[in-house]
Amino acid sequence: MTEHNHQKLFIAWCRLNYPTVPVFAIPNGGKRGQIEAKRLQDEGVLAGVPDVFFANGKPGLFIEMKEPNRGRVQKVQKELISRLEGNGYPVVVCYGYEQAKSALLEYLN
């Protein structure tokens, strides 16, 4: 199963179990032309931002999704994760839907 499918399952699970909490993807990746990439950078897209934010106000949880057994955290992601944590935001890297679900439940407890 791909990272996309794991993230899709996780978002659906969150919305089913926490319908009042905004949970959303931060689509920084993907193939884009130079003009579109520049436009998005001008609007504030930042390389390395985790894939998902669970906005429950505690201050919220950033989740970087990775495909189990294949996904790797890139240098730019590690650097931004460190900056987010330095600013008081919890961040987890999860290898698949089940790990993301467990990490969220641990965060909420």
**What was the pLDDT predicted at 57?**
87
Helices (H) and strands (E) in the chain, counts: 4, 4
- pLDDT at 32 > cutoff 80: no
**What was the pLDDT predicted at 87?**
97
What mean pLDDT do residues 60-88 have? 95
Share of residues in the chain with pLDDT > 70 (%): 97
Integer Cα distance of 75 and 15 in angstroms? 31
What mean pLDDT do residues 9-17 have? 98
Domains of the chain, CATH where assigned: 3-108 (3.40.1350.10)
Measuring CA to CA, how many Å separate 21 from each of 7, 12, 65, 105? Answer: 17, 12, 19, 14
Sign of dihedral through CA atoms 80, 81, 85, 88? positive
- pLDDT at 42 > cutoff 90: no
**What was the pLDDT predicted at 16?**
98
Integer Cα distance of 14 and 84 in angstroms? 22
